[in-house]
Structures are given as C-alpha cells and as structure tokens.
Amino acid sequence: MIYTDNRLLSAGLVGGTCSRHHGNMRDISAQNNVYKALNIPPEKILHFHQTHSDKIISITSAQEAAQFAASPEQDADAWLFTVPGWGAAIQTADCVPLFLFDERGRAFALAHCGWRGVVNRLPFKTACALKNTGRCGKIFGWLGPHIQVCCFEVQADVAAQFSPTSLHRKDGKIFVNLNLEILGQLKEAGLNPLDIKTPYYCTCGDEKNFFSWRRDHVRQNLLSFIYKP
C-alpha cells in the first residue's frame, strides 16, 4: 500500500509513503520496484544523505537536477523543486515525511523531519523557501506516516526543546505531538492550517503496516517520494 494525499494527484504530482509490504527501502531494488509500478524512471529520482539537519536542496532546472544526480550524495534533509520531469525520495522509520506543494504542482517540497530537524525549524524553513520561489498559489501540506503522540515518549531535556502546547503528559511520562509542532511552524510560515492534513498513521504503533526504529531497533526503512512527470 502507498499512503498518499489525493491533492498530490490533482496537482499533477505522484507521491506518497510506502507501507512495509513493499519491503525494506534500504534496498535499492525494492525502491526501483515501486517506481516501476508507477511508471517513474528511477534515474529521475534524486537522493541525499539524511543528517537530521535544516539544510534544503533546491532544484530549479533540469540541468541542475542532472548534475546533482551525477554527483555524490550531499548531506541535507529537504528537497525543493521548481522544475518538472524530476523528483526525490527520502527514507524514514519514525520521522515525519513532510510533503508541501503548490496547488498546480509548479513547486513542491519533501522534507525528512526527525525531531531534531523539527527543533531546528526545518518545516518552517521549507515552507518559507517554497513560498519564496514566487511560483506558488495556495500551498497544501500532508504529513505521511510517522511516530505519533501515543508512542513518542521523551525525556525532559528533549521535551524542553518543544513548544509546551505540543507536549502531552500522562502517568508521569512526557510525549511529543509532532503534528502540532509542525502545524505551528507551517502556520507561522503563512500557510493555512486548514490546508495541512495530518492523518493519524503511527509507525511505532502499527507493526502490521510500518517499520519503526523506536519499536524494533532494526534498520528497516519506509520510502517517501514525490515526482512531477
């Protein structure tokens, strides 16, 4: 199964997050099987080395995309595209895959938002970068499957780095609601919260459909991707 947002399709984009049934996406052949099924040329999907940072890579032309594809992977955690014919992928195992896109698909972004990236305001910075392209009308957002507040228990030192409104306390434990934290940042960037969808798919709580590092401590990853034909 591929979890997606119908608004992606309406914008002329192909994208979503694969369930664990597609295999461990650390395996390139498993990735290519997904792309083949969706008629996406694998060589048109860009990759970077994820480091839980706030670095955004912007692709503004086909030439720039081709040069990037031919070079060693850079360290970064978000993609921003203003050119068709290309796309990108990230891997997660509890982190948030954040999809942001213009209603006509003229500009689109995909960010790997671990808690450190969220603390470094990657969602806010990605939304601002998308707006600053000048190619956007209404911007939509969708948060793919990730660890939810039910399972994301943290210690006080981590909790102190989040907004108090994003914290939930129960039985002496502290939990972080990444949905609320990211929504707050996107609103601050000028997006309408009504245009951001945060479905409650918990990677940690749903072993049947998702890999989870927090739950299993095994290096098995989900794939999230976005592509403009």
Percent of the chain with pLDDT over 90: 98
Residue 154 lies in a domain: no
Dump pLDDT digits (tens) for 66-125.
Answer: 999 999 999 999 999 999 999 999 999 999 999 999 999 999 999 999 999 999 999 999
Percent of the chain with pLDDT over 70: 100
Domain harbouring 63, CATH code? 3.60.140.10
Distance CA 110, CA 100 (A): 6
Dump pLDDT digits (tens) for 141-151.
Answer: 999 999 999 99
Q: Structurally, how many domains does the chain consist of?
A: 1
Instruction: Name the residue range of residue 12's domain.
Output: 2-147+200-227
Q: What is the mean pLDDT of residues 151-174?
A: 96
Residue 160: its pLDDT value, please? 96
Residue 221 lies in a domain: yes
Distance CA 223, CA 197 (A): 19
Residue 165: its pLDDT value, please? 95
Q: How many CB atoms lie within 10 A of CB 207?
A: 12
Residue 195 lies in a domain: no
